[in-house]
Amino acid sequence: MKRRITKLTALLVAAATMTSMGAGSAFAESTEAEGALDLSKAKGVTIQFWNSFTGSDGDVLREFVDRFNETNEDGITVEMDIMPGDTLTEKLAPALTAGTAPALFSIHDMDVANYAGSGSVESFDDYFDVTGADKDDFMEASLTGLQLDGHQWAFPMEWYTQYLYYNKDLFDAAGITEVPDTWEEFADTAAKITDPDKKVYGAGLCVSGGVPWMNSMIISNGGAVLSEDGKTGTLSSDATKQTLDLIKKIADNGDTPIGNTGADLDNLMSADQLGMVVNGPWMVNGLKENEINFGVAPIPQGTACRAGITEITAFAMPAGISEEQKAAAYKFISFWNDKDNSKEWSLRNGFPPYQKSVAEDADIQADELISTFSKISDYGVVFGQGCDVTAAINSDVLFPMVETVIGGGDAQKAMDDAQAALEALLAK
């Protein structure tokens, strides 16, 4: 009896494990679509759309989705589920494996290698042929940043790089007239603004949950986190040491709050308690709502160049999606990329356009903020394309490294530890 139970248990476990593996390989095979997609199949289809637009841009996105649902002539319904970025990442991977992912979801360019490499997402290779959209109207980098092995695995939704936000009132109070153009000037300016009695900090350097500002800083000082082929860690360098020394100088002076997340710094900036912070375009609406007298400038340059990591938020579809759902998703993406809608998204949220026709629009060019945000083409740098641990490099290597330095740790040791962590991560 005992032997029979043991056999039965082993069989069940093996069956459970092998069934799951089988599901995975089935997805991988289903990415090979056959025949041209018929968009008329989208009629009356309801699709789910997961994304992480939790900020004020999420309200605008809701309006767009509602408008699409009301106006599209095919009776397509998009049901949207907005969740925090971490939740989306952690929920999406098992959902893709289990075959329960929605027809449409947002990912970042740094996720493409994971999802595409594992055969979890459907390609957009036929998008332009099926929808008739003009491929030449899209800025090349917005598409190539979402490609792997020559296939289009995701489709641009918005893109951005990093910018320097500064509080004009705090600049005036400190008698500063020039916006810092180099990282050295950034540190000096921060020291002048900081006022401990008023709990005002000159600079905000986040240690998690924000844009990877330190990566931009390292590149601008002539360094690099990864080798050109993305397979070797090159963090340990004079440029990184120089970067960390400057960060340590700012932190040791008490010119940045310790251990703050990106969201914490947003709050400080919105409360007139922060002089400068590096962030993306989404910060604009919050500052406007809080009536902060602010300005936006290009990210400071280092000793070698000016560089800001470019990130692309993109639409993606699960591998094996039905033709009906894919057709409905394409219809919604076409609506999103309609010139008027793209222009409205840029003007209301401040994101730089990725379509040339939108970028050339008179209203867009007349907008001072979007004009600054459009400098993405001047200094935007794509990081870790094709590397399947890019997000982990940010969260598990770069942010902990600066967190240690800002918390009072030794810069050299922090760099050495980070290099070791990077190598371990790449070895996986």
Binding residues vs other proteins (CB under 8 A): 9, 12-14, 16-17, 20-21, 23-25, 27-28, 86, 89-90, 93-94, 96-97, 114-115, 117-120, 199, 207-209, 257-260, 264, 267-268, 271, 273, 388-392, 395, 400, 403-404, 407, 409, 420-421, 424-425, 428
Q: How far is the CB of 292 from other proteins (least distance, A)?
A: 16
Exposed e or buried b per residue across 41-53, where buried means at least 16 C-beta atoms within 10 angstroms of its C-beta: bbeebebbbbbbb
- Which one, 187 or 391, has the nearer CB to other proteins? 391
Q: How far is the CB of 362 from other proteins (least distance, A)?
A: 42
- Which one, 110 or 176, has the nearer CB to other proteins? 110
- Which one, 320 or 350, has the nearer CB to other proteins? 320
**What long-range pairs does 39-43 form, CB within 8 A, spacing at least 24?**
39/130, 39/131, 39/327, 39/330, 39/331, 40/74, 40/327, 41/323, 41/324, 41/327, 42/74, 42/76, 42/324, 42/327, 42/328, 42/330, 42/331, 43/74, 43/75, 43/76
- Interaxial angle between packed helices 56-71 and 339-349, expressed in degrees from 0 to 180 and rounded to the nearest 10: 160
Cα–Cα distances (Å) from 257 to 176, 224, 247, 274, 406, in that order, read: 21, 26, 12, 9, 9
Q: How far is the CB of 402 from other proteins (least distance, A)?
A: 11
- 259 by DSSP, 3-state: which? coil
289 sits in which H/E element: helix 283-289
Q: How far is the CB of 419 from other proteins (least distance, A)?
A: 13
Query: Residue 9 is which amino acid?
Result: T
Q: How far is the CB of 8 from other proteins (least distance, A)?
A: 11
Query: Residue 29 is which amino acid?
Result: E
- Which one, 212 or 300, has the nearer CB to other proteins? 212
- Which one, 25 or 293, has the nearer CB to other proteins? 25
- Which one, 243 or 270, has the nearer CB to other proteins? 270
With contact defined as beta carbons under 8 Å apart, do 103 and 49 qualify? yes
Q: Which structure tokens are listed for 313?
A: 């938020």
Q: How far is the CB of 347 from other proteins (least distance, A)?
A: 32
Q: How far is the CB of 38 from other proteins (least distance, A)?
A: 29
Exposed e or buried b per residue across 331-349, where buried means at least 16 C-beta atoms within 10 angstroms of its C-beta: bbbbbbbeeebbbbbbbbb
**Which residues neighbour 152 within 8 Å (Cβ) at sequence distance 6 or greater?**
123, 124, 125, 127, 143, 146
- Which one, 222 or 409, has the nearer CB to other proteins? 409
Q: How far is the CB of 111 from other proteins (least distance, A)?
A: 8
- Which one, 33 or 420, has the nearer CB to other proteins? 420
